[in-house]
Chains A and B, each alone.
Chain A
Amino acid sequence: MDVLTDNFSLYGKGFLGTVELTVYSSLLALALGFVMASFRVAPVGSLRALGTVWVTVLRNTPLTLLFFAVLLGLPRFGLVLPFQLFAVIALGCYTSAFICEALRSGINTVPLGQGEAARSLGMTFSQTLGTVVLPQAFRTVIPPIGSTLIALAKNSAIAGAFSVTELLGTYKTLNELGYSIIWTFIWIAVGYLIITLTISAFFNALEKYWGVAR
């Protein structure tokens, strides 16, 4: 127990580090995922190809390899950023592929007739998209996006091993200080549980509010 009380600031820093990493990467992943999803359903062939390649490659890339390439590789091109930013880029790009697929399958669940009906009423493309297709797609993608973001929070642990301040990384300092290693890990586990359960509660609330059975 005194592992936590003695090192509350260290744990707090690590915890906040993981939260920050999760929030920033989620924002990047959602934005990039949205762009890639719109590419994948675009009527323009080359954009579709770009989206497909992006998703196929990133979904099949081990995250450690991506971290390895981004954190140690980009500086070779003279791009020197804080490690935390690199970690956000790696995590964000990786997760964006999964977000993109969730969004795309959400759009595909909207029945064809919905779009056809909207167009036959004389709606323009942006009206069809904004008032008919996307609101319906949005409701079906809440649960998969929730589980993708939970996976993102869990994946952020890898950043700690690349010397970014986050929760898992705190074990090293505590280990050197001679604290009980088992309890150190128990509190780390509790920290991750708090984060993942919060995300899952948030998305459950969203789903209750927005999710509509069709």
Chain B
Amino acid sequence: MTAASTALYDIPGPATRKRHFLYGVVSALCIAALAGWVVYLLFDTDQFTAAKWNPFAYEGIQELLLRGLGNTLKAFAYAAVLSLALGALLATGRLSEHRPLRWLATLLVEFFRAMPVLVMIFFIFVALKVQPLPALVAGLTLYNGSVLAEVFRTGVNSVERGQREAAYSLGMRKTQVMTYVLVPQGVRAMMPTIISQLVVALKDTSLGFLITYEEFLHAGKLIASNLDYDLPFIPVVMVISPIYIGMCMLLSWFAQWVAKREKRSPKTEAVDVGPAEPGTLLPGVR
């Protein structure tokens, strides 16, 4: 995006462009100075000593980290599949024609969306005395499932009215209208939002760290608190965060790519949600 495409500025002339270039150079220098200061601090506090970085060359440590990463991905896979299933179930409930069913689904969705996911995880872990992995997965599933239910519902409801009417007038039953006409279009339009919600689930698997689930961060903590390696806390953060952030970014970019592709696709023409920008909150849902 260029600045010219907002309502804020006129298209700059030559003098303004020169001025902006000057601002750019000055601010780039400031940013570089700030970055340099951070690097200086890192060196000044001896974060690049061999004692702190050598452990990452040890096979045992690498295995520990990989096992942690594997556990993170395992929790994510369970949570993603289960929350998609729960989301579909709750959305079916909310779109149901039976009032009690609709109320129950609404109550569940609203409650689990309003609770901090960590409170649910702790409740399941402490009060129900469940193992860390199932507790983490259950907490993530309840929260993300409820959010996804709202996403599915918004998607289905935003399919053009004519589609539903045409399907009914062809003599389809409600189940057929849903499964053949509304759900495919609605879900396809909501795909970027669904993937962005999975990014949230991936990020939240790190909450497992707080209930002693042996995930990626936990492995890092183990290494960081090792006196033999001179407490390599900052090196551990410098190794772990790029991997974590990179995984989430990949998934976010995938969501953006899907969103971009969808803009051109004729298959989502009958759905009038502007496909949500990944990471922003749902359109029309609060």
Q: Chain A: residues with CB nearer than 8 A to chain B?
A: 41-48, 50, 56-57, 59-65, 68-69, 72-73, 76-78, 98, 101-102, 105, 107-108, 110-116, 119, 125, 128-129, 133, 143-144, 146-148, 154-158, 161, 168, 171, 175, 181-182, 184-185, 188-189, 192-193, 196-197, 200
Q: Known: A43-B12, A78-B45, A168-B116. Contact between A57 and B234, CB under 8 A?
A: no
Contacts of B252 in A (CB 8 A): 59-60
Do the beta carbons of B206 and A102 come within 8 Å of each other?
A: no
Are A64 and B217 interface neighbours, CB within 8 A?
yes
| Docked CA distance A196–B123 (Å) | 19
Residues of the A chain whose Cβ atoms lie less than 8 Å from the Cβ of B3: 41-43, 48
- Is there contact, CB below 8 Å, between A154 and B280? no
Q: A60-B252, A76-B234, A77-B45 are in contact. Are A157 and B119 (CB under 8 A)?
A: yes
* Distance in angstroms between the alpha carbons of A98 and B279 in the assembled complex: 8
Tell me whether A44 and B20 are in contact (CB under 8 A).
Answer: yes
Partner-A contacts on B (CB < 8 A): 3, 5-10, 12, 16, 20, 23-25, 27-28, 31, 41, 45, 47, 114-119, 122-123, 126-127, 199, 202-207, 209-210, 217, 220-221, 224, 233-234, 237, 240-241, 244-245, 248-249, 252, 277, 279-281, 286
Considering the chains assembled together, what is the distance between the CA atoms of A42 and B28 in angstroms?
Answer: 14
Given contacts A60-B203, A68-B209, A101-B279, contact A154 B117 (CB under 8 A): yes
Identify which of B7, B203, B224 gathers the most chain A CB atoms within 10 Å of its CB: B7
User: Which of A47, A98, A128, A144 touches B27 (beta carbons < 8 Å)?
Assistant: A47
Whole-angstrom distance from the CB of A36 to the nearest CB of chain B? 13
A192 engages B6 (CB within 8 Å): no
Contact sample, A vs B, 24 pairs, CB 8 Å cutoff: A45-B20, A46-B27, A47-B24, A48-B3, A57-B245, A61-B203, A62-B203, A63-B203, A68-B220, A76-B45, A107-B8, A115-B7, A125-B9, A129-B8, A146-B286, A147-B286, A148-B281, A155-B116, A157-B116, A157-B119, A161-B210, A189-B115, A192-B116, A193-B115
Chain B interface, DSSP helix/strand/loop, else mixed: helix
Secondary structure at chain A's binding surface: helix, strand, loop or mixed?
helix
Q: How far is the CA of A56 from the CA of B245 in the complex (A)?
A: 9
